[in-house]
Every structure is written in C-alpha cells, then in structure tokens.
Amino acid sequence: AGHRPGRKAGALVVLVDGELTLYMERGGKTLLAWPTDPEDPSLRAAAEALATAARAGALGTVTVERTNGASSLTSPLGRTLEAAGFHATPRGLRLRA
C-alpha cells in the first residue's frame, strides 16, 4: 500500500555510498526515504545533496508535499529537509534554485 519507487521518467534517486536513500517522484511532490530514521547520517547527507542539486538549478523549484506517506510539514523527515534548507509553505517544503 502507498507509494513505492519505480522506474519512471523524471523520477530522481539519491544514493549514499551506493545505497538507495531518497526517491523523488517526477515533479518532486512525493519523497520516499530509506532509512526512515530522520537522524540517520546517510539520510541527512542525502537531503543535503538534494538541496545542493536544487540550488544549482538542476531541479528547479522543488515542493515536497508528502514524505513516506505523511505530510512533509509534520513528518519526522520534514525536519531533516528543513535543516538542509527547505522552507515550509502551505503546500509543503519548498526549495528554489
């Protein structure tokens, strides 16, 4: 049940040490994370890499509305994204190029 990663045009993955850590669906509205512990160092590194790519203009403006099936504004992963530079908006967590 819920979202699962898949090979789809426009999807983005972030690998840390060769392991899948973040999967972003096309458009950036949904983000899935492994591991699910927001304090995991690999998850923090992946969020920083995602933010760096967005700031560099590789992704354009990204607004993450859901993380691991929950609202990004209230999910534990949301704090990790905010620490990486995402800002809360009414729709979700946003980062502009």
Q: Give tens-digit pLDDT for 15-71.
A: 999 999 999 988 889 999 998 788 899 999 999 999 998 888 888 888 999 998 899
56 located within any domain = yes
47 located within any domain = yes
Residue 92 in contact with residue 29, Cβ under 8 Å? yes
37 located within any domain = yes
pLDDT in the model for residue 2? 60
pLDDT-derived band at 1, boundaries 50, 70, 90: very low
60 located within any domain = yes
Residue 76 in contact with residue 41, Cβ under 8 Å? no
| Rounded Cα distance, 64 and 41, in Å | 20
3 located within any domain = no
2 located within any domain = no
Those residues whose C-beta lies under 8 Å from the C-beta of residue 34, and which sit 6 or more positions away, are 19, 20, 21, 22
59 located within any domain = yes
pLDDT in the model for residue 3? 64
6 located within any domain = no
| Rounded Cα distance, 32 and 6, in Å | 11
Structural domain boundaries, residue 41: 12-95
Q: Between 96 and 64, whose confidence is greater?
A: 64
Q: Which residues pair with 94 in a beta bridge?
A: 63, 87
pLDDT in the model for residue 97? 74
